[in-house]
Chains A and B, each alone.
Chain A
């Protein structure tokens, strides 16, 4: 194996506290700030049935106060230290993170420890955040063209097992049904130190940072390991189809999802590279064929959440096409891309540039990853994911090699095995009124 990722080495040190909290530190003293993340191994995939959207609602509750820092105190203390904070809910994890001047490191740890140890919320907070979450769903989904496309649309079509297939943002009835009892139970079950990882990086000394972590977190008692939901999918026998109506946007949209190989399996690396052959902007095969050559689509791209998921996940192509073409016709052209890849493979003069771009994008993700406002978000995120899912944060220094060593043969074999109808779901998002087929609006026909 060639070691291609020798260009960048991230220093990584890690330890585990006596209560099971895994702690990772990565020093970089070039600028006086630190990025801190606390990751819990609970995401929307694992939320209780009858409580769709609860993992995300709960994430909001984590900002509502803890025993020694009341409502808005977390936010005020971070902001007034010169820092930013946020949290996100994902498939298999929920994270809380801060970027602050490095003199606020201990303050951040104290705050995170306080809410890991003793969340303090009441019915009024719950009502308030339920209202806020509903407006979040309205602004991001119900009142946006293509809102929720395809991250909320596709899973119910692609998957059969509820944890993978339900509405992750939550049905309003389920949000309304959530009680403070649910909040307590969820907190006790999943928000224990032994179900979490603490990542600290930037302007710090790892030994010193571990000492601070110990001081603030080690007395929080461990809990029984939480139950792991069974996220396995029954074998898929044939292509799956679904349709959602688009009430605001004018263009028909298509999402095509292929279920990916499991994390860290040999095919998983090929998946990462083939996905970038397909997508990755204007040089990607999907954009080139559908937008540039056939000119059926207005936009076409896609992605796969490979590095930060730990359960069934899909490579998804997203296509917005001109109304004078049918969605079925667009899929037929898309299938030509797949067919060609399966028959002819991917020549190395295409594969090698894709790998260069892959490496470049990986570095960009480490450096930023959430816009420029949250420096090193990506490094924090990957360190946490490699710790939670693979037990080895140092994978951040080696994972690239697996992708960069994919051969044309492996890429073709992957395409033949995984990019097949019985491994995919196709979703049409259709506006109610499409224009008459064949009538160009601008361009040559004027």
Chain B
């Protein structure tokens, strides 16, 4: 069977499953509202200070916020896969004559879709609070975010496939999530950080995405941060995808 047909079937299955799951729908649509209610009011009263950009304060925080959504949108999805492995669903799919890569990418694309829906909701909700959208920049940022979710989801699924236990995945996922987020400077720009911290940040792929996001959100495509983010994320996406594809081909699920 051809790859795209199989991908469509596996993607469709996960989308149907998500639409039917009230908890998933509430979390997907509710999370942006939560950010808006609990976070945006704080920014309104933030005075302009050293290190903060001259533009709207929201324009500095939004890229970081979007990167968290993209990163967390993929990072924890492996937990759901453990249950599917246990109930034998993945094994059943793996004996069909469909591409094993499609079995992985169907769910990954669902995760990317859910993340994009969240990103759009949050963007639209932030506009009344003074967020100035540059649509071309936002579109480019969404591409970067889709790559982040693709990477974190593929990583999480493959981890689940290899470890087959929530208890084994949890410490790994927890252990990498916060250091990566903090080093990315998702709340405050890393330019405020001391030298050693700035050096450490350069080993964090998320850092490049957040930096690029701060340029893109104002439509500033000329900043080197933009091409640097793609230069870091494209190879990373290729590496994680290859690792995932290899594992799905060989896995004992």
Q: Do A and B come from one complex?
A: no
B binding-site residues for A, Cβ under 8 Å? none
